[in-house]
């Protein structure tokens, strides 16, 4: 059974959308509330590695793409969540599941202002400690 089938079976109806861009590039959309469970299945049960996560500010909300990599066959599975509430964006932290997520989430927190619930050490990583609150360098001014 290929890793693609295993992921489809493991995630089941948590998958809202599935898009295969190239033979080794897969994009999956899920609900933000499912992220912890999905990460647990991908990272611990199926043995994928978290390469990084790209946060971005889009007109419809704050989007996070968690790029998981399956190194045995080289697929990159990008799990997409969209947090619609831009005023108070929140999502479960993956850092309690595995420490590699710690720095990745700290970076997204300071650059985009996404709060990671359950993160053990949510403080500035790249910006200075005195950085003004509520100012996030990667937020855009979208026309509404």
Partner 1 sequence: MSHKVVIPIGPYHPLQEEPEFFRLYVEGEKVVDIDIVIGYNHRGIEELSEHKHFDQVTFLVERICGICSTSHPFAYVNAVEDLAKIQVPERALYIRTIIAEMERIHSHLLWLGLAGHFIGYNTVWMWAWRYREPVLDCFEMITGNRNHYAMMKIGGVRRNIKDEDIPILRKTLDDLVPAVKMFEGAVVDDPVIRARLKGIGILTKQQAIDWCVLGPTARASGLNIDVRRDDPYGAYDRVSWNVIVQAEGDIFAKTVVRILELYESISIIQQCLEKMPKGEIDANVKDIPPGEGIGHVEAPRGECFHYVRSDGTNRPIRHKIRAPSFMNVASNKIAAVGGTISDAAITLAAVDPCYCCTERVIVLDKATHKKILNGWDLIKLSQEKTEQLKKSKGFPA
How far apart are alpha carbons 51 and 68 in whole angstroms?
A: 6
Between residues 71 and 85, which has the closer beta carbon with respect to partner 1? 71
Site for partner 1 in 1-20 (CB under 8 A): none
- In the complex, minimum distance from the CB of residue 133 to partner 1, in angstroms, rounded to a whole number: 15
Q: How far is CA 49 from CA 28, 46, 62, 83, 89, in A?
A: 16, 9, 23, 23, 25
Structure tokens at 124: 């500035």
The secondary structure of residue 70, as a DSSP letter, is: E
Tell me the closest approach of the beta carbon of residue 30 to partner 1, in angstroms: 17
Please report whether residue 88 would count as binding partner 1 according to CB under 8 A. no
The angle formed by the CA atoms of residues 60, 138 and 31, to the nearest 5 degrees, is 40
* 142 contributes a contact to partner 1 by CB under 8 A: no
CB 75 within 8 A of CB 54: no
Instruction: Compute how many residues bind partner 1; rule: CB under 8 A.
Output: 35
* 36 is an interface residue for partner 1 by CB under 8 A: no
Strands 90-92 and 75-83: unpaired
Please report, as residue ranges, which positions from 47 to 86 form the binding site for partner 1 (by CB under 8 A).
49-52, 54, 56, 65, 67, 69, 71-76, 78
Chain residues binding partner 1 by CB under 8 A are 21-22, 24-25, 27, 49-52, 54, 56, 65, 67, 69, 71-76, 78, 98-100, 102-103, 123-129, 137-138
């Amino acid at each position: 059974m290929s890793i693609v089938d295993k992921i489809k079976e493991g995630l089941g109806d948590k998958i809202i959308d599935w898009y295969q861009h190239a033979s080794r590039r897969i994009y999956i959309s899920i609900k933000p509330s499912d992220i912890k469970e999905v990460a647990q299945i991908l990272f611990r049960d199926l043995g994928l590695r978290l390469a990084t996560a790209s946060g971005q500010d889009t007109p419809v909300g704050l989007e996070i793409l968690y790029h998981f990599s399956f190194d045995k066959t080289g697929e990159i599975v990008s799990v997409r969540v969209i947090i619609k509430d831009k005023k108070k964006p929140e999502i479960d932290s993956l850092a309690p599941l595995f420490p590699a997520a710690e720095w990745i989430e700290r970076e997204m927190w300071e650059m985009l202002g996404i709060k990671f619930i359950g993160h053990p050490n949510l403080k500035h990583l790249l910006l200075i400690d005195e950085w003004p609150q509520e100012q996030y360098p990667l937020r855009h001014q979208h026309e509404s």
